[in-house]
Amino acid sequence: MTDILASLVAQAERQTARRRATRPEAELTRAAAAAPAARDLAAALAEPGLAVIAEMKPRSPSRGPLTDDYRPAERARAYRDGGAHALSVLTHEDGFGGSPEHLSVARAESQLPVLRKDFITDEYQLLEARALGADAVLLIVAALSAERLARLLARTRELGMEALVETHDADELDRALEAGATVIGVNHRDLRDFTLDRTLSARLRPRVGAGRILVAESGVRDAHDARSLARAGVDAVLVGELLMRSDNPAAVIKELTA
């Protein structure tokens, strides 16, 4: 892992350790089993046209604060009303100002699949996600060994959820495919230095092959970017900063999917 990614993962592990100390895994297992059935992220993203995963986060490590007034319930309703196909909820506390509890809030405000976006390395985080109502989780190839990725992906599916498996280059994409990923993200942002390359999804699209869903992550600035990605064969875009900085995120989503 790079220094930046390693730091974010270490923060997530410390946050998880604190929560584990107050909520034992056995309790989470019971809560996850009692949670409502997970909504189908893959089916939502496979609908005709370009799908939008609308992201909820009050700040980012690279861009700082994104809003002065973060209200998860209102944000989830606005994204729903704009026609988003799924919600991505940052639960990482230190770097993004999120909270696992925001998952429950977001899910209650819409019928959309809700993705837990965090730096997941531990099965406890998967149980926590399902217990709080998450329908899917993010797994970052660069943060996991091949064995750990395969194990977490299998456990995610055992819990009834889907995984958005995030990659950044051809080698990581091959690792995702080998692990059996069917919903694959290409992060245009390099977690080593936070630089951006908006051509990555188009260049990696042929390698993804048929029968899988490709999600372009980071760097979508407007409807022009969204249309360019759709023409390149991208199935969905994950959009955060553009929506978080907008006074009318519902209108922005409608423009992206027009």
CATH of the domain at 220: 3.20.20.70
Residue 180 to residues 28, 65, 80, 154, Cα–Cα distance (Å): 26, 36, 30, 9
Question: Which of 99, 104, 110, 187 does the annotation list as catalytic?
Answer: 187
Q: Check residue 47 and give its pLDDT.
A: 92
Which of the residues 109, 128, 166, 172 is marked catalytic?
166
Calculate the CA 153 to chain-centre distance: 14
- Kindly provide the residue ranges of all beta strands, DSSP E only, lying in the chain, ordered along the sequence: 51-56, 59-60, 64-65, 86-90, 114-117, 136-140, 162-167, 183-187, 213-217, 236-239
Catalytic residue among 99, 117, 128, 162: 117
Q: Can you tell me whether residue 56 is helix, strand or coil?
A: strand
Instruction: Choose the catalytic residue: 55, 109, 162, 172.
Output: 55
Catalytic residue status for 55 = yes
**Total domains present in the chain:** 1
In this structure, the number of other CB atoms found within 10 A of the CB of residue 216 comes to 30
Q: What is the pLDDT of residue 67?
A: 87
Q: What is the pLDDT of residue 1?
A: 63
Given the residues 60, 99, 201, 218, the one annotated as active site: 218
Q: Quick one: which H or E segment has residue 185? A: strand 183-187
Query: If you count them, how many residues does the chain have?
Result: 258
Residue 62 known to be catalytic: no
Q: State yes or no: is 57 an active-site residue.
A: yes
Q: Respond yes or no: is residue 241 known to be catalytic.
A: no
Q: What pLDDT, on a 0 to 100 scale, did the predictor assign at position 94? A: 86
Q: Answer yes or no: 254 catalytic.
A: no
218 is catalytic: yes
pLDDT of residue 254: 97
- Please state the pTM of the whole predicted model: 0.95
Q: What is the pLDDT along the chain (258 residues), one digit of tens a residue?
A: 668 889 999 999 999 999 999 999 999 999 999 999 999 999 999 999 999 999 999 998 877 888 888 999 999 999 999 999 999 999 998 889 999 999 999 999 999 999 999 999 999 999 999 999 999 999 999 999 999 999 999 999 999 999 999 999 999 999 999 999 999 999 998 877 778 899 999 999 999 999 999 999 999 999 999 999 999 999 999 999 999 999 999 999 999 998
**Residue tagged active-site, from 57, 109, 110, 201:** 57
Provide the domain limits for residue 28: 3-257
